[in-house]
Chain A
Amino acid sequence: EPEVTQTPSHQVTQMGQEVILRCVPISNHLYFYWYRQILGQKVEFLVSFYNNEISEKSEIFDDQFSVERPDGSNFTLKIRSTKLEDSAMYFCASSLAGFYEQYFGPGTRLTVT
């Protein structure tokens, strides 16, 4: 069964460093998303991406964040200068259409020290 994959599973970085989180969505899906979940809290939407551009972004997704689909398979989230409060689990998701179920990857746990 096709699945969304994410690498790395855990990333530790120092405050102020740049990180890139990687995702490989399900191959025939066209819509891609990033969400984050601070430990013990709810899942929050960051950004959605379709047709090589951002469709929607939340208030959390400020200028420190960017997304890219550098090739036909990867979808990346970059945080330019990490802050302590960026520590969270980051989930990538993909869907076949904009209002279909979104399938989530296993997540990348980002720890900023």
Chain B
Amino acid sequence: AQKVTQAQTEISVVEKEDVTLDCVYETRDTTYYLFWYKQPPSGELVFLIRRNSFDEQNEISGRYSWNFQKSTSSFNFTITASQVVDSAVYFCALQNTGTASKLTFGTGTRLQVTL
């Protein structure tokens, strides 16, 4: 069975601090995909990144970076120089390959960035 664990329920930081959101996953499959989604206070789910299990290269997109480590089954997300607009709930998700395969979400981490 698939499982995604986001142990941090809530994180509070002051603007301009760096923050890392942890994600640990479990799957028996050798091929799978990992995702991060952002859910701002308005409620929609915004896609941030997709990474396949064969690509362990870290990725950077502006202030966002992702660290995928297969050895520890982790896919952590770092926001550098956080801003108030980063305040949201962030969900990590796992998808196995297959036709119309479902996303299995973690419980989310609520990030609060204050001035």
Contacts and interface: CB of A to CB of B under 8 A. Distances in A.
Given A42-B91, A43-B91, A102 B44 contact: no
B100 A31 contact: yes
Interface residues of A, number: 28
B98 A45 contact: no
Contacts of B103: 33, 35, 43, 45, 102
A44 B99 contact: no
Given A101-B47, A106-B44, A55 B91 contact: no
B97 interface: yes
Contacts of B99: 31, 50, 55, 98
Looking at A33, A91, A99, A106, the one whose CB has the most chain B CB atoms below 10 A away is: A99
A81 interface: no
A89 B46 CA distance: 15
A48 interface: yes
Interface residues of B, number: 25
Contacts of B104: 45
Nearest to A105: B44
B43 A48 contact: no
A75 interface: no
A107 B101 contact: no
Interface string B42-80: 111111001000000000000000000000000000000
Interface in A55-103: 55-56, 58, 89, 91, 93, 98-103
A28 interface: no
B102 interface: yes
10 residue pairs, one from A and one from B, having the closest CB atoms: A55-B100, A48-B100, A104-B45, A45-B102, A50-B100, A43-B105, A31-B100, A42-B107, A101-B50, A98-B99
Interface of B: 33, 35, 37, 42-47, 50, 91, 93, 95, 97-108
10 contacts: A43-B91, A43-B105, A44-B105, A45-B104, A48-B101, A98-B99, A98-B101, A99-B98, A102-B47, A107-B44
